[in-house]
Amino acid sequence: MCRLEMTIMKSARFVLSCRGNPMVHVGGFNFIRERSRGLRTRWVCGRKRRLQCVATVTTIEDKVVKMYGYHNHS
Ligand SMILES: [Zn+2]
């Protein structure tokens, strides 16, 4: 496991949006829940709809296990 992944896992923060939707905050970006199966949840970038951002995150319980794609915004 590389150091970057460790940092990402430590910096993952689970939050509720003001509308009560579960979100996860990773590496300075917010992700919204797309679907979950068992303990595994897939999250998509909060700007996916507006900017077609393809970055996603997978978590198991409260740990980030996978990040995929790059944000097309800052
Ligand atoms: Zn994004």
Could you tell me where the DSSP H helices lie in the chain?
A: 3-11, 48-51
Decide: helix, strand or coil at residue 4. helix
| Ligand 1 centre distance from Cα of residue 38 (Å) | 25
**Average pLDDT rounded to a whole number, residues 37-62:** 94
| Ligand 1 centre distance from Cα of residue 9 (Å) | 18
Phi and psi at residue 72, in whole multiples of 5°? Answer: -95, 25
What amino acid is encoded at 70 in this protein? Y
pLDDT at 14 over 90: no
The pTM assigned to this predicted structure is 0.81
pLDDT at 1 over 50: no
What domains are there in the chain, each with its CATH number? 3-68 (2.20.25.240)
Bridge partners (DSSP) of residue 33 are 43
Write out pLDDT tens, residues 23-49: 999 988 999 999 999 999 999 999 999
